[in-house]
């Protein structure tokens, strides 16, 4: 029997909670479901080598777990303060029988991006999947209160690394490789309190489509995933005002499905876009928004 999508994952109100950014998944209540118990692989990525930014928690964690269970060795990047979450992911990757490489560091540092790719390539023995998931989101309700430093850091986290990491990775990536960026429903339907974040997500769409066309002759595909309201540490560490947390995804913002999404619900799309099943797919954006329109 099929499951009701309105009740398939957590669909109650969330308790108010706050952590300083970037936040730890292991301290959230309820913990996001990243497929730790549910994702089953079927060999779609056997022998592949993946680098996932933001792989310690949330959507990046879900992608990393899925990649490993599909047969890929996985390197994950995260901020040093997210080490406890990263250690959990390392254990899950190794339990799947795959190699796990942990590479902490700040993507706002251009030089670190180049070192990240080189280290991942060296330790994995190759690189053919680049999943760019890491992001910064801080809600500010009035543009008068939006600090210039926050605008800069949001672009330096969400946009600049896509250029740096792609520049470094493409020379290592063989034909059939895949680059997957992460935009958002905010790139199509911006919230008034996320002016900087939404603008970066629009930029990611343009970057993805342009790069896909530029490197198609190298037989490297580039696509993007556009999540809607997904329960991750991003939301409880300033991404949403505290008053929005209890009904996040049901009424703030409202979704036709009536609840927040869980990272596990994006796993299969990140796998599809990395696998040979999507061989004729490039320059596309896949929306997983609970029904919020992106067109």
Active site residues: 197
DSSP letter at 248 equals B
Give SS3 for 214: helix
d(CA 216, CA 218): 5
Token representation of residue 172:
């290592």
Distance from first CA to last CA of the chain, Å, rounded? 31
Query: How far apart, in Å, are the Cα atoms of 118 and each of 56, 111, 236, 273?
Result: 20, 11, 33, 23
- Number of Cβ within 10 Å of residue 14's Cβ equals 21
Beta-sheet strand order (sheet of 221-227): 100-104, 73-78, 49-53, 129-132, 178-182, 221-227, 285-288
């Amino acid at each position: 029997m099929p499951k009701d999508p309105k009740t398939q994952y957590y669909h109650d109100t969330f308790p108010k909670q706050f952590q300083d950014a970037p936040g730890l998944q292991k301290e959230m209540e309820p913990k996001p479901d990243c497929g730790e118990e549910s994702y089953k692989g079927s060999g779609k990525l056997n022998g592949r080598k993946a680098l996932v930014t933001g792989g310690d928690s949330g959507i990046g964690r879900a992608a990393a777990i899925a990649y490993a269970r599909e047969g890929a060795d996985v390197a994950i990047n995260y901020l040093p303060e997210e080490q406890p979450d990263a250690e959990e992911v390392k254990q899950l990757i190794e339990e799947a029988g795959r190699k796990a490489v942990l590479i902490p560091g700040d993507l706002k540092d251009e030089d670190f991006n180049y070192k990240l790719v080189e280290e991942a390539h060296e330790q994995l023995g190759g690189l053919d999947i680049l999943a760019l998931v890491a992001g910064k989101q801080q809600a500010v309700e009035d543009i008068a209160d939006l600090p210039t430093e926050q605008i800069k850091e949001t672009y330096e986290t969400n946009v600049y690394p896509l250029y740096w990491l792609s520049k470094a990775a493409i020379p290592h990536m063989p034909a059939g490789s895949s680059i997957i960026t992460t935009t958002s429903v905010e790139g199509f339907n911006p919230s008034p309190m996320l002016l900087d974040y939404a603008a970066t997500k629009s930029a990611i769409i343009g970057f993805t489509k342009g790069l896909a066309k530029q490197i198609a002759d190298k037989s490297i595909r580039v696509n993007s995933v556009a999540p809607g309201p997904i329960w991750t540490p991003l939301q409880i560490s300033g991404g949403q005002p505290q008053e929005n947390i209890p009904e996040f995804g049901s009424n703030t913002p409202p979704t036709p499905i009536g609840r927040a999404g869980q990272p596990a619900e994006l796993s299969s799309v990140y796998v599809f876009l990395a696998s040979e099943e999507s061989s004729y797919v490039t320059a596309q954006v896949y929306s997983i928004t609970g029904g919020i329109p992106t067109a």
